[in-house]
A and B are shown apart, each in its own frame.
Chain A
Amino acid sequence: MVTRFPPRSSRPHGRLRILVASGAAALALAAGSVVPGIPLAPAAQEAQAADGKSTLTVAVAQSVDSLSPFLAQRLLSTSIHRLMYDYLTNYDAKDNRTIPGLATKWETSADKLTWTYTIRPDSKWSDGEQATAEDAAWTFNKMMTDEGAATSNGSFVGNFKKVTAPSPDKLVIELKKPQATMTALDVPIVPEHVWDKVGDFSKFNNDTKFPIVGNGPFVLTDYKVDSYVKLKANKDFWRGAPKFDELVFRYYKDQDAAVAALRKGEVSFVAGSPSLTPAQAASLKTADNIKVNDGPGRRFYALATNPGARTKDGTKFGDGHPALLDQKVRQALFMAVDRTTIIDKVFQGYAIEGEGYIPPRYGSYFWKPSAGQKLAYDPAKAAALLDEAGYRKNGAGKRTGKDGKPLDFRILCHATDPNDKAIGKYLQEWWGDLGIGLKVDCRDNVSDPWYAGEYDLAFDGWSVNPDPDFVMSIHTCAALPAKAKESAATDNFICDKQYDELYAKQLAEYDPAKRADLVKQMESRLYDTGYMNVMAYPNAVEAYRTDQIESITTMPSAAGNIYGQDGYWSWWSAVPAAGASGDSSDGGGSTGVLIGVGVAVVVLAGGGLLFAMRRRSTAEDRE
């Protein structure tokens, strides 16, 4: 029997046969993968580039909540709507001032209650229909009458009395009371002839039928949940067609993976959430063909104090520290904050030192304190202020009130924000030197204690729109909750009569310069009261490939951000780099061959295994 057993020397021959067969199969597969039209190969990229189509790919992390402009709330979704639909007005990329959009001009009545917009004649829907004032009137009326349609932008029409379209090019909006934000209505205007077929606006997500009819600079052509959003350039856009033929938002849930995709050239642009980290930015700065855009951001980062939580009718609730009701204590705390150190050490230079409430990128509203007004870093003066307020150091070096209790505060911090934690440690040190204790209370969700008024201090921050109405409104008495602990528009329970008077004046002031002056007065008042003190304006740190994008408009154009602009400037203006393949490929240049090698290895291993098993299974018979 043994003699019939195949001699060992014959095995290498059999293995060689398998090797040859597997190699051939692998080569065939590898060859298959370089056939044009099959995605993994360089030839495919060339083929795509050869059709002359240029694609701008942007890495995003946030999911689209809805493609219906009546429901969308997230930054990505609303930014996409800016590209799909035209708005009545737009903001100039240069300086954020209001410029024409779907409306070419607008005027107000003498009583400031009627606004008449002239709708441009050269804006067409992507299905060929003319965009008219009727579309705009229908959009606003829908939001005024249908609760579902008011989900996203209902606050814009809250003061509207009546909206009509007396002619295709005239839109008339009547107001209940004067409203200065009538040129900042960030509402996408939709085509009536498409949307009047929608039944339940609270459930229609506008994501099943492509391309979606719009009149913006891009037309949405395809969308796959958490994979991509594709838009093609609208060649008939009245302001001019975008330079890239296609714009793709591709999903990278992990920020480091997105940065890797940029390095590889899979995507043309990466922003952060909201910014790239200093480490990511530093590593990209030295990479080839990548430009890091370190522009002034639209956010402020502040220290907020609980001014005593209360309802609209004055009912107090919460447990804010009473010492913080003293302006001197609040100012002393802020004077013991070394903002230079925060910028250098925590933000690692990617931020600007904070002063007024509105970031400097909004030049017309930016305010800074005068020399005498400024609460500069001065621990000695802070100590003196606390002494004046009656909180003196005891023998143990702790500041105590008249009741002998030590001055200890809690500060609410976002557990997900490393900046909060880092700055919390600095505050513990600086305020500790003053004799004040601080507990840094980091939570995944700070909303509950915040709206319950159960905090002393908090790290606070907002993104500011070109029109500052919203961020100013959240500090008015009207924004306070109706009931204790109830969610409300208020940010921080601030209710100051002087501030409210200024707010009412600015909202009724239609002269931009006079309104800006009133807004600055409000900022000055906020600063003096010390309830909100801005520590920094974090930069917008983002990066793009210079071998794919030759130029792109920032907002403000002199030095600003690219992602999440108030307008469509960045993607509309982006110019493809000369010689760019025009399509960000998923694979590397030699991907096809390498995949083939990979397949060969797998086939070889698998084939070898199979062969060995077959031999074993028949061994008995052979024996």
Chain B
Amino acid sequence: MSTESTPALLKGAAGVDAVQTDGPAPAGPSARSPRARSTTAYLRYAAGKLAGAAVSLFAVLVTSFFLFRLIPGDPVKQMTGGRQVSTEQIAAMRKEFGLDLPLWQQFTEYCGKALTGDFGTSYQFRAPVMDKITEALPATLLLTGTAFVIYTAIGIWLGARSAWRNGSAGDRFHTAFALTLYSVPSFWLGLLLVITLSVGIGPVPGMFPTGGMESGSESGFAYVLDVAHHLVLPVVTLVAVEYARTLLVMRSSLLDEMGSDYLTTARAKGLRDDLVRRRHAVPNAMLPTVTLLFVNLGNTVAGAILVETVFSWPGLGGLFYQALSVPDLPLVQALFFIFAAAVILMNTLADVIYPLLDPRVGR
């Protein structure tokens, strides 16, 4: 028994031109090889997507400037609220932050600097905005990255199993359970985990820290363990509320594949059911899921704000919350831009990678 035919089956099932010549291409510009044509088409497609992303990023840059100007309140007054500050000091601060300039001038300066990666100085922290962001970014990436890997694995695995046993008790349970967790507010679930698994309740002992990313007294390998210990509950919260989306998409796209002829062929060849699922059905069903995963990755960065707050995770989410409360315009604008850029870039990446997975796209 052989599995050699699987790639051909896959391509055939996907309706792709399976025949690609590896022989010498005929001479002349009008007779370029299909591979060259394919590469050119792909590059054109990718360039179009990248251009679209660039336009979107610029639109976000402009929006981020004006959107947050709509927040009522004078940032200087907010920052100095409750303190003894003279009118002269307030005027000096307005001048220092460039808030005394006409709006159009503030806007052109903002755009000019943003293009060079300079988002100005944070009002409240008196430090370059990019410094504050690079300080908080690793924590967010650690949290969201870990959660992403786990919820993707769980979502795909459970989604595939659920679809394959469509209508079974297991399928109904997994789908209902995932949907229940998906509809639970993340901060509420986080607090519940703090009360049960961190403080301990009844027979459940307290096992994890209530918040933060580190205890602050460790170094070396002990530090890594310490951070991992702090990472457990926030990751569990994020995974719990996020895996449903992957599960559902994976389940639905695998269900679409289930009646396909190539699966019947594979079965007819005597392949085991599990093998048919893993080698033949799942790879094809993965295509829509991959797009979702990239979009998810972009969203997760911004979506971790509540989880970061509940678990006092020192990432971008907490920084955004603080920036909004002032409002610390340069910081708010930059973070908004970065959150939006993450979604745009991940969408673009999905668009660009998709034709590599499914050559029908982009032709």
Contact = CB atoms under 8 A, between A and B. Distances in A.
B63 interface: no
A595 B225 CA distance: 11
Nearest to B90: A487
Contacts of A202: 96, 126
A586 B198 CA distance: 9
Contact of B77 (A63, A451, A590): A451
Contact of B207 (A37, A68, A583, A588): A588
Contact of B86 (A37, A38, A155, A595): A155
A230 interface: yes
Nearest to B306: A254
Interface residues of A, number: 74
A575 interface: no
A365 B194 CA distance: 45
B78 A447 contact: yes
Nearest to B277: A616
Contacts of A451: 74, 77
A257 B210 contact: yes
Given A63-B322, A448-B72, A462-B82, A228 B191 contact: no
Interface in B237-289: 271-272, 274-275, 278
Contacts of B312: 226, 251-254, 257
Interface string A498-541: 00000000000000000000000000000000000000000000
Contacts of A488: 87, 90
A598 B310 CA distance: 22
A460 B312 CA distance: 30
Given A33-B225, A260-B210, A445-B71, A226 B314 contact: yes
A598 B229 CA distance: 11
A227 B87 contact: no
Interface string A423-463: 00000000000000000000111011001000000000011
A444 to B, nearest CB: 8
Contacts of A470: 84
Interface in A193-210: 202-203, 205
Contacts of B72: 443-445, 447-448
A253 B217 contact: no
Nearest to B93: A151
Interface in A541-594: 583, 585-591, 594
A151 B322 contact: no
B354 to A, nearest CB: 26
A616 B277 CA distance: 12
A542 B78 CA distance: 26
A73 B83 contact: yes
Interface stretch (A119-127, A261-269, A402-410): A261-269
Q: Which residue, A156, A228, A481, has most C-beta atoms of chain B within 10 A?
A: A228
Nearest to B191: A256
A250 B311 CA distance: 12
A598 B217 CA distance: 23
A227 B199 contact: no
Contacts of B155: none
A598 B309 contact: no
A71 B89 CA distance: 12
B80 interface: yes
A586 B205 contact: no
Contacts of B106: none
B3 A620 contact: yes
B126 A37 contact: no
Chain B CB count within 10 A is highest, among A445, A481, A594, for: A445
A211 to B, nearest CB: 15
A593 B194 CA distance: 19
A40 B225 contact: yes
Contacts of A444: 72
A48 B217 contact: yes
A489 B78 contact: no
Given A253-B309, A260-B198, A470-B84, A587 B213 contact: no
Contacts of A40: 225-226, 229
A73 B326 CA distance: 13
B275 A619 contact: yes
Interface string A52-82: 0000000000010110100101000000000
A154 B226 contact: no
Contact of A594 (B73, B205, B209): B205
Contacts of B230: 586
B222 A225 contact: no
Contacts of B136: 225-226
Contacts of A482: 87
B34 interface: no
Given A254-B310, A448-B74, A616 B278 contact: yes
B79 interface: yes
Contacts of B195: 260
A224 interface: yes
A1 interface: yes
B206 A66 contact: no
A158 interface: yes
Given A39-B217, A445-B71, A226 B318 contact: yes
Contacts of B318: 226, 253
Interface in A215-258: 222, 224-228, 230, 248, 250-254, 256-258
A39 B272 contact: no
A445 B126 contact: no
Given A222-B216, A264-B199, A448-B73, A205 B206 contact: no
A264 B198 contact: yes
B205 A225 contact: no
A588 B229 CA distance: 12
B294 to A, nearest CB: 25
A444 B325 CA distance: 9
Contact of A587 (B2, B73, B84, B209): B209
B270 to A, nearest CB: 9
B284 to A, nearest CB: 19
Return the 10 tightest CB-CB contacts between A and B, nearest first. A445-B73, A226-B314, A588-B206, A586-B209, A261-B210, A155-B84, A448-B72, A586-B215, A594-B207, A487-B77
Given A256-B191, A256-B194, 6 more contacts: A37-B222, A203-B127, A252-B211, A445-B71, A447-B78, A447-B81
9 contacts: A37-B222, A38-B222, A257-B191, A257-B310, A445-B72, A448-B74, A473-B84, A487-B76, A587-B207
Interface of B: 1-3, 71-74, 76-87, 89-90, 92-93, 96, 121, 124-127, 132, 135-136, 187, 191, 194-195, 198-200, 205-218, 221-222, 225-226, 229-230, 232, 271-272, 274-275, 278, 308-312, 314, 318-319, 321-322
